[in-house]
Amino acid sequence: MKLAEYIDAGQAFDADEREVAALALQQDNTSESDSLDSSWLAELQRRMDDIRTGHAQLLDYKDSHAMLRAKLAAGRR
């Protein structure tokens, strides 16, 4: 896969997922963090695959926050 394809796929992530991806890509490959890094990379790959195959339901940022606010408000009642 070419870098441009990864970037295009990453644009489908929400802001939090893009931050996780950016942090994972910035990490040094030290022996202490290798297992954590590989776990995050596996999770990122799974999420990218879900997006590409249409298995992930992507929501607009504003819509997802509105849904979360409604759920929180309902829980307080």
Q: Give the domain ranges of the chain.
A: 3-76
pTM above 0.85, yes or no: no
The per-residue pLDDT for range 38-61, each reduced to its tens digit, is: 888 889 899 999 998 999 988 888
**CB neighbours of 67 closer than 8 A, spacing ≥ 6?**
59
> Per-residue pLDDT for 32 more than 60?
no
* pLDDT score for 53: 92
Max CA pair span of the chain? 50
Query: 55-65: per-residue pLDDT in tens?
Result: 998 888 899 99
